[in-house]
Structure 1
Amino acid sequence: MSKIKVGVIGCGSIAKHRHLPEYANNNKVEIVAVCDINEERVNEFAELYNAKAYTSYEELLRVSDIDAVSVCTPNYLHAPISIAALQAGKHVLCEKPMATSQVEAENMIKAAKENNKKLMIAHNQRFVPSHQKARQLIENGEVGKIYSFRTAFGHGGPERWSADGADSWFFRKEEAFIGAMGDLGVHKTDLLRFILGEEFVEVGAFIETSAKANADVDDTAVCVLKSESGIIGTLAASWSYQKEDNSTIIYGEKAILRIEDDPTNSLVVQYKTGEIVKYELGGIQTNESGGQTNTQVIDQFVTSIVEDIEPVISGEEGMKSLQVVLAALESNETKRITSL
């Protein structure tokens, strides 16, 4: 079979550290095009990956033999570019959060269906070994009834890792739409839905800007979530943690699961009996670790195209994770619990 020809739109840090190297490592793919409004940046990646450089995504989408694109732009462009790409007959892998509104997300899903193309959202936390194992233990009944959880995703902020540093689009509301809650919180809403295997029905949230003087978006958010079966817990997302925290703790009837909470053991299971089981499953990808391991996102996307199957994280899945974030924003504004 001939290789899938791919274009990457947006050559910032996520493209540099994840999308481009992972496409390059996949033997079913050929990177043929890269696009960024920063000419110097796009030329550098074009040379590195032996691809054609574009400064206009519209021009890239007119190239008929490009099969699929990654959308790695600022958040406000995710939906418009994804929709344009789907309408141009390309499969789309879109970075998270998939859109800035429910309507945009629905329009992306509709465009994928109408054009019979794959739409996948790049939520990578589901593929982390400790998260997969935790879901398995819950499904197998090892943990018993789940009572509660707490999850956090925080680090020092995008200036440490964004291609534009302190001048990053992440801090500008008109481009980012939402701050830490969209950058990190949506990863965790997706992860919790995956691990618990159920949807959230109510959200209460406090969303603040307290750490970043240069930001007009939130940098710290704490939410209380309730699932359909009545599991309640907290989710924190922040750009104000001096050391990265990406931990999740699940409190069940028979055991407590401590995920990515111990520096050595990515999963520690504390059974009610007193028994403790530790799993060293290999770490989670962090922005600080430098040596990125494969997130599996690209490989999963490519597989969905090659085997013509529904992507693991479809547009619908991405939308459900986004809905929790949108509900949190609404709760913060109205100072009430929002129902989903």
Structure 2
Amino acid sequence: MEKLRVGVIGCGSIAQHRHLPEYIANKNVELVAVCDINEERVKEVAEKYEVAAYTNYEELLSSGTVDAVSVCTPNYLHAPISIAALNAGLHVLCEKPMSTSKQEAEAMIAAAKESGKKLMIAHNQRFVASHQRARQLIASGEIGKIYSFRTAFGHGGPEGWSVDGKESWFFEKDKAFVGAMGDLGVHKSDLLRYVLGEEITEVGSFVETSAKDFADVDDNAVCVLKTESGIIGTLAASWAYVSKEDNSTIIYGEKAILRLEDDPNNSLVVQYVNGDVVNYQLGKIQSNDAGGQRTTHVINHFVDAVIHNQEPPVPGEEGLKSLAVILAALQSNETKQIVKVSELN
């Protein structure tokens, strides 16, 4: 079988730590090219992987050398580059949040339909073993009716791991569009939709910049969410958790409480109403900390979807639904109203 020829657009931290090494590790992939507007950076990465270097993504897309691309650029470029790639007949794996607006996301989905190519959004929390097990337990009825939840994703901020430190695009509103909510919150809105197996319909939020005085995007957000069946809970996204990362989710059900990535040793703890406790050691969640899961599984799922001509596990439509929750949270913070996700512009 011929290998899938891949190019990676944007050579920052997410490309260097996740996409590039995971493509290299996939036996069905030939990494062909990398692209970044930073000439020095792209040369260095291209030399490391012995691939072609581009500083202009349009040249890469029209080169005829790749079948698929990863879009690992600042958020404001996700939609234009993904759409250009799809229109050029290439499959696209796009980092999250998929775009900066509902309109952009819809245009990406339309471009994928029109071109007949795959569009997948890199929501990796779905592939964490504890999250998958929790979804199964809830879907099977093992936990009974779900009453409430709380989820959090916080760490000290991108300056700790971004290739550009404090100078990173993550802190610039015109490039990032949104801060901790786009970086971390969208992961959790996607996770909740996946684990609970239903849509989030209403959102209320407070979104602040309290920890990073050099940033013009949010670094602390707390949202109240309601699902279609009436489950209520909270989502916190923060770049102000200064010591240890928090990536935990707790789901409160009729027959048990599920604690996901909340215990340092057990990735899933199920506390039953009768006092029984079941601990699952399913491997560490992928994180920026040492010892985190080495692979996100995102790349392998994307490659499999292309090779076997299957629907990707996180298509554009799913990316849009998870983004819509974050857009609703931003609107809620601005209007000081509860926002219905279905009524977003």
Shorter chain as denominator, the TM-score bin is over 0.9
The answer to whether the 8 Å contact 2:266/2:279 transfers is: yes
Report matched runs for 1:187-226 at 5 Å: 187-226=187-226
Name structure 1 gaps, 5 residues minimum.
none
Are the counterparts in 2 of residues 17 and 292 from structure 1 also a CA contact under 8 Å?
no
Q: What's the Cα RMSD here?
A: 0.7
State the 1:44 CA deviation.
1.1
Identity within the alignment, %: 73
Note the C-alpha offset of 1:292: 5.0
Q: Secondary structure of the equivalent of 1:214?
A: coil
Alignment of 1:289 with 2:275, yes or no, is no
Do the aligned residues in 1 keep the contact of 2:5 with 2:66 (CA within 8 Å)?
yes
CA contact 1:203–1:225 (8 Å) conserved in 2? yes
User: How far is the alpha carbon of 1:219 from its aligned partner?
Assistant: 0.2
The amino acid across from 2:25 in the alignment is: N
Total equivalences in the alignment: 340
Match of 1:87? 87
Looking at structure 2, the residues matched to 256 and 228 of structure 1 have their Cα atoms a distance apart, in angstroms, of 21
Displacement of 1:48 after TM fit?
1.2
Aligned counterpart, 1:179: 179
8 Å Cα contact 2:201-2:228 kept in structure 1 = yes
Give SS of 1:170's match.
helix
1:291 positional shift: 5.9
Give the secondary structure class of the aligned counterpart of 2:304. helix
For 2:53, the equivalent position in structure 1 comes to 53
Preserved CA contact (<8 Å) 2:285 2:292: no
1 CA distance for matches of 2:238 and 2:138? 27
**Could you tell me which residue of structure 1 aligns to residue 246 of structure 2?**
245
**Structure-1-length-normalised TM-score:** 0.99
Cα offset, 1:288, TM superposition:
1.9
Gaps of 5+ in 2: none
- Superposed, which structure 2 residues align to 1:1-340 within 5 Å? 1-242=1-242, 243-289=244-290, 292-340=293-341
Please tell me the residue identity of whatever aligns with 1:297.
Answer: V
Task: Tell me, yes or no, if the aligned pair for 2:33 and 2:54 is still in contact at 8 Å.
Answer: yes
- How far apart are 1:65 and its partner, in Å? 3.1
In 2, Cα distance between the equivalents of 1:48 and 1:2? 24
Query: Does structure 1 conserve the Cα–Cα contact (< 8 Å) formed by 2:283 and 2:293?
Result: no
Aligned residue identity for 2:180: A
Which ranges of 4 or more aligned residues in structure 1 deviate by more than 6 Å?
none
Is the 8 Å Cα contact of residues 185 and 237 (structure 1) preserved in structure 2? yes
> What is the CA–CA distance in structure 2 between the aligned matches of 1:176 and 1:75, rounded to whole Å?
5
Check the 8 A contact 1:118/1:310 in 2, yes or no. yes
In 1, Cα distance between the equivalents of 2:261 and 2:293?
16
After superposition, the C-alpha distances for 1:94-123 in whole angstroms (9 at most, x for unaligned) are 000000000000000000000000000000
Secondary structure of the structure 2 residue equivalent to 1:229: coil
For residues 159 and 121 of structure 1, what CA distance do their matches in structure 2 show?
Answer: 24
Contact 1:43 1:53 in 2 (8 A): yes
Following superposition, the deviation at residue 289 of structure 1 comes to 1.9
Give the Cα–Cα distance (whole angstroms) in 2 for the partners of residues 115 and 64 of structure 1: 16
> CA–CA distance in 2 between the matches of 1:140 and 1:293?
29
Deviations 1:130-167 (A, max 9, x none): 00000011011110000000000000000001010011
CA distance in 2, matches of 1:300, 1:127: 9
Following TM superposition, by how much is the alpha carbon of 1:290 offset from its aligned partner in structure 2, in angstroms? 6.0
Please identify, of 37-46 and 215-224, the stretch whose mean Cα deviation from structure 2 is larger. Answer: 37-46
Q: TM-score scaled to structure 2, two decimals?
A: 0.98
**Partner AA of 1:247 in structure 2:** S
- Rounded Cα–Cα distance in structure 1 between residues aligned with 2:2 and 2:293: 28
2:103 aligns to what SS in structure 1? helix
Task: Note if contact 2:221-2:238 (Cα within 8 Å) is conserved in structure 1.
Answer: yes
- Partners of 1:319 and 1:137 in 2: how far apart? 26
State the one-letter code of the partner of 2:335.
T
Code of the aligned partner of 2:311? E
